[in-house]
Each structure stands twice: as structure tokens, then as C-alpha cells.
């Protein structure tokens, strides 16, 4: 009796992706350009572990109906651990651990993956990359404005196209809620989380969440916050104000609201002076509850379509704000901080759908192998070309058939092929085949004879191989 092998499913975990090729190259290129801009402003790179003690991260995620509050947590013999869900909470833990050893203000930058146990959907993943920048120990609104200006400059340097930065201040909403007599902190956080869904659910959907509750298209019901009709109207009116006067009227006369109005007015002025495309939008509250002042979100403008041609909603590609009390959990005292994050995964996907191209690595040169004696010589040629900065790979397939090697060269989009058979080896020569020209000829049936008359390959002295290829690629 023969045991049957049980085959393990090859599907990945839901909400996670394998990445290769152009989109991975695009993410890497965006990360490099964004981090270069941060460095130009004097930000020091910091890397923190992917796993943090659960108690160090705290419960700040907006998806409270998900397991572990929207995070991936697990137990070990030593401690409860959680995959980091952003790069800010680990920063707070790091800064608290340094005590007074950091010279403040301290400028920190970071790039890497984060994980969120959220409902996955097209374009929304449970693992994604961020590029963060934070100014620690800087209470000035000028610092807030510079962070907005730097975010704008980073995206311009990365050539992402048009975008807008929507700006608000959490003190405005806090002042409004205080005026409405809403003092419970958990209720305040849930109101922020409801407003944060305005883009996705619209005004009516948010009003339902603030009131009796909302039933979605699938029939699933989300319990509401049971605010009064007057309170719901005040919150909704606040989210639609688009100038300082209308905002002042919506916020009312609380001291906290007045402070928020003064701060957002100054921040708008300084950010616009730096040519950042910023506009006032009080509906921006940021779902994470640790924000305490300035908050902003970055939206990519223009339409994006998926592979089938259907419109794809991208939403925010980044955002941030001021969080002066986050470190209090570790030290017992506040420390003024402001920072932001650019969602590189979401940005790369949007640009990829729009047909963005990367400078990427050079296309490879294939060194063909026609017989056993040619292997060592092919490897030697590849080493020479790589030493000159050219990407070269040797054919290691089982077949020595040149036709099969040319088919492989087409599949990897090689720019050139180098061929050395016994005759070329005896003569001290090699053949360089111009593969791009051959592809162009095959696509031009109308004037095929004219194109066929062009030289598709050249025979050169073996010692001149690098010189000839370098001259060809320089054209």
C-alpha cells in the first residue's frame, strides 16, 4: 500500500501578497526617493523590530471589532507580543527608553512593513510598507508646517503626480464635543473613528454611525453611538466647514476650540508659504486616538483604474499630525512630537495601475552556452561585464539549442545575447546579437524588408566584448 502525499495549498494568507518585478521595483524606488528627501532635512534613520511587547504598543487602532483590536498578537513564554501596526508607537517606546540621551528636537525617519488585522479587500492589505518621519521635542506649529512641507516635497521628488494635503486640528473637534457636553473619552474616540469613515460611507453613513446604527449592503449591522439629533447635526456641520469663519461658527466658543482655530490658521499660512498643496478640511480627524493637535491626510488626485478597467478608489496615501501625549504612557509626562507616514505600498499600487515605469535595474545580457567547453568561458565573460556595471547572466538550462536560449532571452527581455561557438572560439571572436532590433523587426510587417536589411548582430574580437557592448548601450 502506497502512502499518498498530501499536497499543501500554495495560496498565501488572505490579505498578504507575494511581490516581484515592476511593482516591487517601484516600491523600492519610491522608498529610496522619499527617504532621500527626509535625509535632506536632517532626519536620522531608525529601525525598530517588527515585533513589540503588546503593552508597549497600546490599543490605538480604529478597528476595535477585529481580533486583538485590529492587530496581530500572540503569546510566548516570556511575554505577549504584537506585530507593529505602525512605526509611531515603536518610536514612542524607543524615545522613552533613551530618556534624556537624545538631543532634542530629534529628527527621525524610518521605512518598513507594518501589519494590521483588518478586513482585506482589493487594494487593502494586511501587510504594507510605510515611510515615516517624526520630530521629537518640537512644540512649535512651525514644526507641524515643516513636516507638511517635507511630505509635499518628498512626493514631488518621487514624481507621483498631483496630490492634495487636507489639514485640520484635533483641538477643533475636541472643543466642539466639549461644547456639546460629550466628556466620555471612549465615546469621543468612537466619534473620531466614525468621522474618519466619511470618505467611504458618506455623510448619511456617518450620521447613522453617530446615531442609531448602520446596516451595510450585506445586511451586517453596526451599532451606533446614540448621539442626539442636535449633537449629530453639530458634528456633521463641523465636518463640512471649509473656511476659518465657517469653522469658527461650527466649533463654538470653547477655549480648546479657539486654540485649535489659531493653530490651524498659522499652520495653513506657513504650509502654503512653502508651496504645499494644502487645504482646510475639518473632517480629517485621523482614526488613531493618540493625535492631539494638527492632523493631515494626503490624497492622490486623478482617476485610477484596475486591470479590468473598473475605477479603483485609492483613498489616502499618507498622513499624520501632532501627538504630544503618546510618550506619557512610558514616562508619565508629555513630550511634544509631530510626524507623518507615507503609505508606500498603496502609492506604488496606484502608480502601477496608472502605468508608472521605474528606472529599475538594467535589462540583462544573456551569455549563451553552446557546448561543454563554453561554460567556463561564458562565466568569465559574465564576470567581465558585471565588473563594468552591466547585468549579465549565463545560460544554465539543460539544452544547448540556440533557439531555446533565444526564446529564454525574449522571456527575460534581455537587451543583448553573446554567442561563442567553437568557430568563434577558434577565431578569438564572439557574436553580439541585438535582441531589441530583432523584436522591432518582427513587429514591423509593413516595412519588413527595410528592417531586415539592418544588421541584427555583429562579430567582434573577444577582448573587445566589453567595449562594444558599452558603446552599444550608451547609444
Dihedral pair phi/psi, residue 73, rounded to 5°: -120, 155
Question: What's the average model confidence in pLDDT over 131-153?
Answer: 96
Q: 475 or 88, which is more confident?
A: 88
Q: What is the DSSP letter of 311?
A: B
Alpha-carbon gap, residue 191 to 108, rounded angstroms: 31
Residues whose CB falls within 8 Å of the CB of residue 463, separated by 6 or more in sequence, listed in order:
428
Q: pLDDT grade, residue 198 (50/70/90)?
A: confident
**Digit-coded pLDDT (tens) for 207-249:** 999 999 999 888 889 999 999 999 999 999 898 888 888 888 8
192 SS3 class: helix
E strands, 251-371, are: 278-280, 294-300, 316-322, 337-343, 365-367
**Digit-coded pLDDT (tens) for 325-347:** 889 989 999 999 999 999 999 99
For residue 166, is pLDDT > 50? Answer: yes
Q: What is the pLDDT of residue 442?
A: 61
Alpha-carbon gap, residue 391 to 377, rounded angstroms: 17
Most confident range, picked from 88-97, 120-129, 282-291 = 88-97
Alpha-carbon gap, residue 45 to 258, rounded angstroms: 37
Q: What is the pLDDT of residue 249?
A: 87
| % of the chain exceeding 90 in pLDDT | 58
For residue 18, is pLDDT > 70? Answer: yes
Question: What's the average model confidence in pLDDT over 191-215?
Answer: 89
Question: What's the average model confidence in pLDDT over 347-356?
Answer: 87
Question: What's the average model confidence in pLDDT over 308-319?
Answer: 84
- To the nearest 5 percent, what fractions of the chain are helix, strand and coil? 40, 20, 40
Alpha-carbon gap, residue 368 to 90, rounded angstroms: 50
Q: 460 or 67, which is more confident?
A: 460
Dihedral pair phi/psi, residue 196, rounded to 5°: -65, -15
pTM of the full structure = 0.83
Residues whose CB falls within 8 Å of the CB of residue 352, separated by 6 or more in sequence, listed in order:
22, 23, 26
Q: Is residue 218 within 8 Å of residue 119, measured between CB atoms?
A: no
Q: What is the pLDDT of residue 439?
A: 65
In this structure, which topology does domain 21-353 adopt according to CATH? BirA Bifunctional Protein; domain 2 (3.30.930)
For residue 288, is pLDDT > 80? Answer: no
Q: What is the pLDDT of residue 119?
A: 81
Alpha-carbon gap, residue 438 to 456, rounded angstroms: 6
365-473 CATH = 3.40.50.800
Residues whose CB falls within 8 Å of the CB of residue 475, separated by 6 or more in sequence, listed in order:
none
Q: Where are the domains of the chain?
A: 21-353, 365-473
Q: 286 or 88, which is more confident?
A: 88
Alpha-carbon gap, residue 329 to 392, rounded angstroms: 54
Q: Is residue 340 within 8 Å of residue 312, measured between CB atoms?
A: no
Amino acid at each position: 500500500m502506497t502512502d499518498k502525499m498530501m499536497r499543501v495549498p500554495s495560496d498565501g494568507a488572505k490579505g498578504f501578497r507575494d511581490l516581484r518585478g515592476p511593482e516591487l521595483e517601484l516600491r523600492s524606488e519610491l522608498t529610496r526617493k522619499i527617504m532621500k528627501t527626509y535625509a535632506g532635512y536632517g532626519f536620522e534613520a531608525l529601525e525598530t523590530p517588527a515585533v513589540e511587547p503588546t503593552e508597549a504598543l497600546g490599543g490605538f487602532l480604529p478597528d476595535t471589532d477585529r481580533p486583538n483590536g485590529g492587530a496581530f498578537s500572540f503569546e510566548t513564554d516570556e511575554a505577549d507580543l504584537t506585530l507593529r501596526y505602525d512605526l509611531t508607537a515603536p518610536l514612542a517606546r524607543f524615545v522613552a527608553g533613551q530618556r534624556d540621551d537624545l538631543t532634542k528636537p530629534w529628527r527621525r525617519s524610518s521605512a518598513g512593513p507594518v501589519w494590521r488585522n483588518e478586513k482585506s479587500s482589493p487594494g487593502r492589505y494586511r501587510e504594507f510598507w510605510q515611510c515615516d518621519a517624526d520630530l521629537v521635542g518640537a512644540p512649535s506649529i512651525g514644526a507641524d508646517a515643516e513636516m507638511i512641507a517635507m511630505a509635499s516635497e518628498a512626493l514631488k521628488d518621487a514624481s507621483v503626480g498631483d496630490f492634495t494635503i487636507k489639514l485640520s486640528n484635533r483641538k477643533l473637534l475636541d472643543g466642539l464635543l466639549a461644547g456639546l457636553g460629550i466628556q466620555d473619552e471612549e465615546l469621543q474616540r468612537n466619534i473620531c473613528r466614525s468621522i474618519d469613515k466619511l470618505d467611504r460611507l458618506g455623510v448619511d453613513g456617518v450620521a447613522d454611525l453617530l446615531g442609531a446604527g448602520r446596516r451595510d449592503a450585506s445586511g451586517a449591522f453596526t451599532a451606533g453611538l446614540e448621539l442626539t439629533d442636535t449633537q449629530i447635526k453639530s458634528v456633521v456641520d463641523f465636518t463640512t466647514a471649509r473656511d476659518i469663519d465657517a469653522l469658527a461658527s461650527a466649533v463654538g466658543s470653547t477655549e480648546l476650540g479657539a486654540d485649535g482655530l489659531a493653530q490651524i490658521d498659522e499652520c495653513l499660512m506657513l504650509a502654503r508659504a512653502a508651496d504645499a498643496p494644502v487645504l482646510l478640511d475639518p473632517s480629517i480627524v485621523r482614526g488613531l486616538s493618540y493625535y492631539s493637535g494638527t492632523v493631515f491626510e494626503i490624497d492622490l488626485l486623478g482617476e485610477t483604474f484596475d486591470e479590468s478597467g473598473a475605477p479603483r478608489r485609492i483613498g489616502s496615501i499618507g498622513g499624520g499630525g501632532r501627538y504630544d501625549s503618546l510618550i506619557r504612557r512610558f514616562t508619565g509626562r508629555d513630550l511634544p512630537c509631530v510626524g507623518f507616514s507615507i503609505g508606500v505600498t498603496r502609492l506604488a499600487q496606484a502608480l502601477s495601475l496608472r502605468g508608472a515605469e521605474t528606472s529599475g535595474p538594467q535589462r540583462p545580457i544573456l551569455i549563451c552556452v553552446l557546448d561543454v567547453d563554453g561554460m567556463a568561458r561564458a562565466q568569465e565573460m559574465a564576470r567581465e561585464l558585471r565588473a563594468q556595471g552591466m547585468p549579465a547572466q549565463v545560460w544554465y538550462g539543460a539544452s544547448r539549442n540556440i533557439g531555446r536560449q533565444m526564446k529564454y532571452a525574449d522571456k527575460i527581455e534581455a537587451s543583448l545575447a553573446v554567442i561563442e561557438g567553437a568557430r568563434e572560439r577558434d577565431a578569438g571572436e564572439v557574436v553580439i546579437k541585438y535582441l531589441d532590433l530583432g523584436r522591432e523587426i518582427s513587429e514591423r510587417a509593413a516595412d519588413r524588408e527595410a528592417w531586415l536589411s539592418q544588421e541584427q548582430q555583429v562579430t567582434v574580437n573577444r577582448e573587445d566584448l566589453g567595449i562594444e557592448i558599452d558603446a552599444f548601450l550608451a547609444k
